[in-house]
Amino acid sequence: MIYVKNASNKLVLVAINKWGKKGGTGYFNINPGLVEGWDRTDGRGFVMSIIREGEAEPKPYFVLSNSNIVIHDKDITGYGRDVEDSDHWIYPLK
């Protein structure tokens, strides 16, 4: 499972690709303080796309199937570590 929590003060839209036939790949609205989960279990990893309220361009990230992502107002963390940390399992793709 991939869990995404919106710890920011604005709505975020999140989409995660899939390798199998089950599950949706469209954007889900996540309101502040809420968590959404995606049933993704493939070992190849996934592309997670995030659009913050007020931003036009999506931001893609590579994440693994056991990810717990927290979206803050100015950054995104996984297991308490900043996604810019290149020694971790969530990477910006742009």
The tokens for 9 are 């003060």
Q: Which of 71, 79, 77, 70 is nearest to 51 (CA)?
A: 71
pLDDT of residue 36 exceeding 90:
yes
Confidence (pTM): 0.84
- Comparing C-alpha atoms, which of 53, 52, 3, 43 is closest to residue 20? 43
Q: How many domains does the chain have?
A: 1
CA distance 54 to 38: 24
**Could you give the CA distance from residue 37 to residue 1 in angstroms, rounded to a whole number?**
7
Instruction: State the residue range of the domain holding 87.
Output: 2-92
Of 85 and 83, the one with more pLDDT: 83
Residue type at position 34 = L
Q: What is the pLDDT of residue 26?
A: 94
Work out the pLDDT band at 87, boundaries 50, 70, 90. Answer: very low
- Residue type at position 33: G
The pLDDT value given to residue 86: 44
Read off the pLDDT of residues 7-20 as tens digits, 9 standing for 90 and up. Answer: 999 999 999 999 98
Which of the 8 DSSP states describes residue 70?
Answer: E
